[in-house]
Amino acid sequence: MTFAVGEFVQGLTRSSAPSSPSRMQAILKASWVRRSSASLEMDILKKCEGLFGCPRLYYSLNPVDNGIPTSNHIFLPTAEEADNAERLSGFHWTSWKKASKKTPSPTPMPQWSSMHVHVHSLAGSSLTLFDDPMSLMAGILHAVLGWLNMLQVGALHRDVKIGNVLALIPPVEMENLFSVNHALLGTKCDEAVEMEAARLENLLVKLGVGRNVSAFISDADSAVEWSDFPGPRSASRSASENFMSAANLISLKRNQPHLHTPMDDLYSFFYVAQWAAVFRPSTDHLPLVKGLRDSVSGLGRSDGTNELKQLTHLNPDLRYGLFLNFLGPVFKDWLNELDTLAVNFGVATRGETDVAKLRLAFFATAYRGVGDLMEVIHKHQDSLRSYQPVVVDLGDTPI
């Protein structure tokens, strides 16, 4: 995928572009999209237009050359050729993996893709650039609310990672406040979901979440319609392993099917927040940060999390920098809530095939998970706000 940021003069974009200001910044993204998921992605992006924590899609197009859409079709077998197993295998070389003689794996189907270009709002930057822990947590919350908006329009993101959660420094004012879609919950809703939704609404007020957004969720190219429950189970997993939930990672390693759920995405937000805190460029020189980064970005991710959970601003270990010491207790509490929620979610859904029950469990869990994060931020907000960067003798950058 590629992208470019540019300034567009109003009028060069289609009519749904905002009427002011007359010059606006937009992101242009070109991506190779599989034939099967192209329309879904566009549909989701359109439904999210103007929603809190989501970018606004201005324009989408398929580049065409001499009337022919830009695609990889000419390099791949045709659909008829792919239908014939023998012919299909003639197109395929197992160049990297030694083919197993006993159980040769079936030749994968060609991935017919075409180029899609989206122009949308919100040029973000890396979450690692927030310079105080409260701003990072507020940004994460805003992006989580964008994710929840996506869920409310029917899509589960499934690719929450550092490149898809982007910071807005300074914050950007959105057209809409976040709101629970009560119409969606409707009459089929049970009390548990309504209770979680009401708690979330209270917490939005308590935390004073307004229209300003300091981070957002981007991309819907791995999203699925959550109501299509067999879909999330069989859809291929493209998400980055660094940010995958443990349940998703385990099933991937064991090659087992996995129903991707809101729980997986909520855990991914936790790992994104952890990554953003640990990879702040201004802490490159600190003695214990390198080892922590190796853990967080490698096989020892849970060791890294445990290391972080030991930190506290009450008795800071400055070899990690003050920022991480302030976030230690926040990560500890947040992960605790996630783990408790995951157990409850497992109890409610394991073996469950009734779509109505799964739907309720998905929403109750999503609202509760977001509410838990807000509760954690609320609990720690005074201490987070008391953070003052200090300069330590290991360099002259405030940490």
Ligand X SMILES: Nc1ncnc2c1ncn2[C@@H]1O[C@H](COP(=O)(O)OP(=O)(O)O)[C@@H](O)[C@H]1O
Q: How far is CA 100 from CA 252, 254, 256, in A?
A: 20, 18, 20
Tell me which of 41, 219, 307, 337 binds ligand X, using CB under 6 A: 219
Segment contacting ligand X by CB under 6 A, of 149-157, 162-170, 204-212, 377-385: 162-170
Distance CA 9, CA 25 (A): 9
Size of the site for Mg ion (CB under 5 A): 3
Binding status of residue 122 toward ligand X by CB under 6 A: yes
Segment contacting Mg ion by CB under 5 A, of 72-80, 156-164, 186-194, 281-289: 156-164
* Nearer CB in complex with Mg ion: 185/239: 239
* 200: nearest Cα among 370, 392, 376, 382: 370
Which of ligand X, Mg ion, none does 166 bind, CB closer than 5 to 8 A by kind?
A: ligand X
- Number of residues written out for the chain: 399
Minimum CB separation of residue 1 from ligand X in Å reads: 3
* Nearer CB in complex with ligand X: 166/235: 166
Binding status of residue 222 toward Mg ion by CB under 5 A: no
Binding status of residue 166 toward ligand X by CB under 6 A: yes
* Nearer CB in complex with ligand X: 200/220: 220
Minimum CB separation of residue 164 from Mg ion in Å reads: 4
* 269: nearest Cα among 365, 181, 196, 335: 335
Locus of tokens 């589960």: 156
Distance of CA 24 to the CA centre of its chain: 25
Tokens describing residue 8? 């567009």
Binding status of residue 221 toward Mg ion by CB under 5 A: no
Distant-in-sequence, close-in-space partners of 11: CB < 8 Å, separation ≥ 6:
none
Minimum CB separation of residue 248 from Mg ion in Å reads: 18
Distance CA 377, CA 185 (A): 26
Amino acid at 12: L
Segment contacting Mg ion by CB under 5 A, of 159-167, 323-331, 333-341, 350-358: 159-167
Query: Is the CB of residue 257 less than 8 Å from the CB of residue 251?
Result: yes
Tell me which of 113, 135, 149, 164 binds ligand X, using CB under 6 A: 164
* Nearer CB in complex with ligand X: 219/333: 219
Query: Is the CB of residue 338 less than 8 Å from the CB of residue 369?
Result: yes
Tell me which of 114, 149, 164, 365 binds Mg ion, using CB under 5 A: 164
Tell me which of 26, 27, 48, 239 binds ligand X, using CB under 6 A: 27
Which of ligand X, Mg ion, none does 314 bind, CB closer than 5 to 8 A by kind?
A: none
Distant-in-sequence, close-in-space partners of 192: CB < 8 Å, separation ≥ 6:
360, 364
* Nearer CB in complex with Mg ion: 167/384: 167
Minimum CB separation of residue 143 from Mg ion in Å reads: 13
Minimum CB separation of residue 240 from ligand X in Å reads: 8
Find the residue with minimal CB distance to Mg ion: 219
Query: Is the CB of residue 297 less than 8 Å from the CB of residue 242?
Result: yes
Amino acid at 37: S
Distant-in-sequence, close-in-space partners of 39: CB < 8 Å, separation ≥ 6:
none
Q: How far is CA 28 from CA 14, 31, 40, 60, 226, in A?
A: 14, 10, 19, 10, 27
Tokens describing residue 113? 């893709």
Which of Mg ion, ligand X, none does 122 bind, CB closer than 5 to 8 A by kind?
A: ligand X
Residues forming contacts to Mg ion in the complex (CB under 5 A) are 163-164, 219
Residues lying near ligand X in the complex (CB under 6 A) = 1, 3, 27, 29, 122-124, 163-164, 166, 218-219
